[in-house]
Amino acid sequence: MSKGVVSLRSGFTECLLQAKVPLFCLYTNFRNWYIFGDTKVELALSGFGLKKLPNVNTQKVFEFNILEVDNKDVIQNILDNFRNDFRNSNLLAL
């Protein structure tokens, strides 16, 4: 069983919410997005962020604008979350 999911934001990401594990969603600018054309990350997050969907456990959803956040910080956040999850479940930490 998965302990977490790391995904680029897409329609499939919404399906991954059903896994009920931490979901780390990475946003970039959307290019050629149907009738909207090129769309900035901020607009996608404000209108289509995963935390805005109904019945989402927002404590398990982590969204990152990877144009504004250092990749090392994103990786560290993911690893810290997994380590905390392991500690809380009495499993061996990474």
Question: Would you list the domain boundaries of the chain?
Answer: 5-88
Local structure of residue 90 (DSSP, 8 states): T
69 contacts 45 by C-beta, under 8 angstroms = no
pTM above 0.85?
no
How far from 21 is each of 2, 13, 17, 37, 83, CA to CA, in Å? 7, 12, 8, 32, 14
Per-residue model confidence (pLDDT) at position 93: 41
Express each pLDDT in 34-69 by its tens digit: 666 667 777 777 777 899 889 999 999 999 998 889
Average pLDDT (13-25) is 91
State both tokens at 44: 């996608």
